[in-house]
Chain A
Amino acid sequence: MTRYSAAPIHFGAAFLFSLGMGIALSAAAQAQEASAERGAYVFHASGCETCHTDSAHKGEMLAGGRALKTPFGTFYTPNITPDPTYGIGKWSEQDFIRAVREGVAPDGSQYFPAFPYTSYTKMSDGDVRDLYAYVKTLPPVAKPSKPHDVGFPFNVRLGVVVWKWLNFTPGPLPPVNTRSAAAADETWMRGRYLVEALGHCAECHTPRDRLGGLKTSLWMAGSDDGAEGESAPNITPDPQTGIGEWSDDDIAFALKIGMTPDGDSLGSLMAEVVEHGTSKLTDEDLAAMAAYLKALPPIVNKPGKPAAK
């Protein structure tokens, strides 16, 4: 917070400026026809199905209702099937892009950042349009979304505006490596895009401050408050507390089949991330994700609370 306090007006101006510059579709992307087929791949890489389907209660695909327990309250994911009444059937492509990349609903209201638009804002023009094209092909489900169970002050949607001002950097990824000294080669760039934008890995694997902003100094170093109230492990290359002992192949293979090099299954939500997401990605993309993770600066951090009784 302190880093912005010196020049809040300038920061605000920069925010609005980047919103206008970074988020508008480029002319090139608009010229290309969106493809539902490519969108299916983006859909898997982005892990939409895992959160927007209440699989524990046999909910229909993307009909929402899954409970996301966070330290701020319980969020219920909304119905994002193409149903015109209860889903996103009436949304234009522009509505969809604004929701995914800016966290703003078609009626202008703010989405809570439980929806990881903080990551999806980095999604490319082509990918977000393909994603829209794909989601529109899925079966509509006429089921109302469930209201969130979140206490004051986090239930004030207008507060999200302030939260975004503090914690949301809209727009695409920079063309250089700002995370480490590693070269921003093609594989690394693809890996960063998959991990940071689509995969939104940091949303669980990076710890948050009291207001729910990511502590970027502990990027991917694990969090006590991961999904489902469980801790999320450190995935930086620290050999003791992270996954430094894993080879690139080990990482790619774990994302493909859901098993660690120790022969253990990946835990809780990660099993679903693999099932609905990373297991469907190409070997090249998994290798790129591994290359990105291995190039991160190693951070010593062991998340995890004592077992609950």
Chain B
Amino acid sequence: MQFRAKPIAVFSALMTLMVAFCLSAGGASAQTAEAAAKERQAVMKSFGDWSKTLAASAKSGTADAATAKAADDISAGMQKLPALFPAGSGLDKLPGSTRAKPEIWANFDKFQGYAKDGQAAFTQVATAAKSGDGAAVTAAFTKAAAVCSACHKEFRGPEIK
């Protein structure tokens, strides 16, 4: 009851706190979005590097330990991928910093489905590589690359110049 004397002061103090919180939360979330965009670009870059190894194996029909490892690495990365796409981190919010289309968040289930398909497809490549069957590596990698393509076609915007 001793606060009853100055409710307005309390109210304004609370408001200040809230506004400060909102501002900092807003800033943090924009930063989080930027950070997520950077991180997933790094992940995609390593996918690309591993895919180079896999493409070479698929072309020559090679099934070896390096092929299996590259495929396992991509498969593991696929599992973590959807978490790197927080809402508000698309090219509508971060133009020039990301190629992620806003359609990702309008169809997030489908997007996650591609990541699951990718995970399974690259596991198949790893399995083929471990079995020592070069032709199976070629076949499995062809399928896996089609998953990459399908998702990129649907959810990746134009190159950033």
Q: Which residues of A contact B (CB under 8 A)?
A: 230-231, 249, 253, 256-259, 261-268, 271-272, 274-275, 304-309
Contacts and interface: CB of A to CB of B under 8 A. Distances in A.
Contacts of A275: 146, 149
Interface of B: 47-52, 54-55, 58-59, 95-96, 141-142, 145-146, 148-150, 152-153, 156, 158-161
Given A263-B52, A305-B161, 18 more contacts: A253-B58, A257-B141, A258-B145, A259-B149, A261-B52, A262-B48, A262-B52, A263-B48, A263-B51, A263-B54, A265-B145, A265-B152, A265-B156, A267-B152, A268-B158, A307-B96, A307-B159, A307-B160
A259 B161 contact: no
Nearest to B48: A263
A257 B148 CA distance: 10
Nearest to B91: A307
Grouping DSSP codes into helix (H, G, I), strand (E, B) and loop, the B interface class, with mixed when no group exceeds half, is helix
B51 A259 contact: yes
Contacts of A307: 95-96, 158-161
B57 to A, nearest CB: 12
Contact of B148 (A230, A265, A268, A272): A265
**A256, A258, A275: which has the most chain B beta carbons within 10 Å?**
A258
13 contacts: A230-B158, A249-B59, A253-B59, A258-B149, A259-B148, A259-B149, A262-B52, A263-B47, A263-B49, A263-B52, A264-B48, A265-B148, A267-B159
Contact of A272 (B51, B145, B153): B153
Nearest to B151: A265
Nearest to A269: B153
A271 B158 contact: no
Given A262-B52, A263-B50, A257 B145 contact: yes
* Closest 9 pairs between A and B when the two form their complex, measured CB to CB: A263-B51, A263-B48, A265-B152, A271-B153, A258-B149, A257-B145, A263-B52, A265-B149, A259-B145
B152 A271 contact: yes
Given A262-B52, A267-B152, A257 B158 contact: no
Contacts of B54: 263
